[in-house]
A and B are shown apart, each in its own frame.
Chain A
């Protein structure tokens, strides 16, 4: 055989050998072999183990999906998600137990929400957080929530408004920018806060509400469940220490400069102004006068600036006048200040957790070595520090009408 011929044979051999490699990746997984986790919950099982609740998408049951076989499906009324529960000594063990009842590989890339039950959160989330940050599929932008009671109840709820509860939960978090009455914490923020002294973590509180609606036909009542986010759970390091209600959470968000929007209602008997303001923009600036010898002496000044628009005003003096608007600015500022002070009181009082991030401001003003020396004691100093709140609020818009609607009583 000639050399040329040998070379050709070798080339053909090589092509044959390499052809299978060219068909796809080594780690290829088909889409239909994956179980898409949309939301995951963690609870403390009665035995002290960790209970994992995962909400998995069933594309065949969702609108538009499946349906291949000539419109058969329709009536089945199956939920587009399935919920699986398993327990284990560790979170990973629990996940493997989940797999015992699943023919598909769990895929975390689409998980949007993680919900922690109260009992587990109070014991500490460390072990569970680790698996969430170590897993390469989880997204750091998924929302973190805490619920009073069990995460199981939240993830098995059947809310009417959205067919996939996980999408509802993440939608609720997105809508939180409209009222700022609940925290909007991503895993990214949460992990950083848990790892940093002087800036403790907080996460939205999600609650299950049951509403009774009577059905006309009979006496039996139909129970309607609804999920609602309200306020936040306050953590110290990795464990839950308590709750803040909606308005107090907004106070906290004013202080942190993270309140995007919100409605403030005003009722001032002195001037007769009644109405509401929608805050459209707010920011905060925290100044710290650090006393390096005694951190408990540190004085903080929080300056909150906000802009908003008048959404309703129905019985005070004429808002077309500048003096009235100035008064409204002042009244709104007082409301914001009261909410912020309520948050400070709650956090310095019973919760004793620096969720505001005041310690972070102290850290910024000390050398790394000096902060490392005192950071362990910061939780003791935090309840003692003085925090002053100044609010500067301006109404910049007034909507379609300038003057208010006045019934013509003189007639």
Chain B
């Protein structure tokens, strides 16, 4: 193992980072904010991701071979750069904890209400730790292996429930006015801006040139938009906006409606498995990036020493909210800061680099 990944793997990793757990809850948040136009917001939100892609590519060209930690140290100076990196890494870990808990909740509510949260969260954390132990290359290969299955589920769910869609539910288009739709797309852009994690991965991509990187990241974004938009649109078409915002996981309810004839029913278990795979990759990438960032900041050659402590922290972070209401409050608070950090941090670094005319080592290392 070289610890390096190819461009295809970069694309898949980034797509799954965006899509990951989004099926489960995104339709609900969109219907809550933009009602029947929620699906438009999902598509519009991709613009936020595009900003991240361009900023990252600009930074990567200016500071070749460096990660976000490297950028921060080069631009802000070592002490401040390290501080920012640690803060960033902490945020990633908090997000990962939140994602684990949210996902565990959905599974518990929908399929096994007798299982204690802690057990499911612990299993998730162990799996994440195992992935990270083997490193980025393994996470990437897992992602590539399962990508087709993960992408089949939105296709099946969308086409399998076409018969329940009532087109009137989408009307009037933009009935809420443009304001709520844009606000909702700002929220959706949070999912797309998670592409910022590419900043931790780029130096590990084989034969990485700026043009190819940009193409790969835009492709990843382009792959993530259709399934998310389609699933949100079918939730709204099938349930209507008010029922969609009432359901804990509209996409899962959607999956429960999918039947093929009399014999193929109750397919939701299959979908839960697919979504779990996607969630594993997403949470794995978040945690890996966090631990990698900490290791680099501290100057560790190998991050494996951080895995036990990091996993324990991840578990504690995931178990921090006492119940789903606390968890929703945590998400509410995170939502207020996440877009600013995920989009704002690279943007700020790029602006500072541009103003101070700082550049990385010109010597091109691959």
Measured CB to CB, the residues of A under 8 A from B are 25-27, 109, 136, 139-141, 188, 191-192, 195-196, 360-361, 363-369, 371
Contacts and interface: CB of A to CB of B under 8 A. Distances in A.
B6 to A, nearest CB: 34
Nearest to B116: A26
Given A136-B111, A367-B172, A196 B256 contact: no
B218 interface: no
Nearest to B241: A368
Contact of B168 (A140, A141, A364, A368): A364
B253 A140 contact: yes
Given A140-B256, A366-B172, A367-B172, A192 B115 contact: no
Contacts of B175: 366-368, 371
A403 to B, nearest CB: 40
A360 B168 contact: yes
Contacts of A196: 240, 242
A366 B239 CA distance: 20
B172 A365 contact: yes
A109 B266 contact: yes
Contacts of A195: 240, 242-243, 246
Nearest to B167: A364
Contacts of A368: 35-36, 172, 175-177
A251 B261 CA distance: 29
Given A192-B239, A363-B172, A364-B172, 11 more contacts: A136-B110, A136-B111, A139-B256, A140-B256, A360-B168, A363-B171, A365-B172, A366-B172, A366-B175, A367-B172, A368-B172
Contacts of B172: 363-368
A374 B112 CA distance: 42
A227 to B, nearest CB: 22
A366 B175 CA distance: 7
Interface string B173-194: 0011100000000000000000
Contacts of A139: 256
A405 B266 CA distance: 52
A188 B257 CA distance: 9
A370 to B, nearest CB: 9
A364 B169 CA distance: 8
Contacts of A363: 171-172
Category for how many chain B residues contact A: 20 to 34
A136 B113 contact: yes
Nearest to B168: A364
A126 to B, nearest CB: 14
Contacts of A192: 239-240, 243
B301 interface: no
Interface in B158-213: 164, 168, 171-172, 175-177
B256 A191 contact: no
Contacts of B242: 195-196
B151 to A, nearest CB: 25
Nearest to B180: A368
B355 interface: no
A166 to B, nearest CB: 16
Interface in B21-65: 35-36
Nearest to A197: B242
A361 B240 CA distance: 14
Contacts of A365: 171-172
Given A109-B266, A140-B257, A191-B243, A27 B115 contact: yes
A371 B240 CA distance: 15
A324 to B, nearest CB: 37
B9 to A, nearest CB: 31
A26 B243 contact: no
Nearest to A364: B171
Contacts of B109: 136
Contact of A369 (B36, B111, B177): B177
B114 interface: yes
B256 A26 contact: no
A14 to B, nearest CB: 12
B333 interface: no
Shortest Cβ-Cβ A-B pairs, 10 listed: A364-B171, A27-B112, A368-B175, A27-B114, A368-B176, A26-B115, A367-B175, A195-B242, A192-B243, A364-B168
A286 B112 CA distance: 44
Contacts of B259: 141
Nearest to B175: A368
Residue from B109, B172, B239, B257 with most neighbouring chain A CB atoms (10 Å): B172
B1 interface: no
A26 B114 contact: yes
A364 B243 CA distance: 17
A360 B36 CA distance: 13
Contacts of B239: 192
B119 interface: yes
A228 B70 CA distance: 75
Contacts of B168: 360-361, 364
Interface string B102-120: 0000000111111100010
A371 B177 CA distance: 13
A140 B175 CA distance: 28
A364 B239 CA distance: 16
Contacts of A364: 168, 171-172
Contacts of B256: 139-140
Nearest to A360: B168
B127 to A, nearest CB: 14
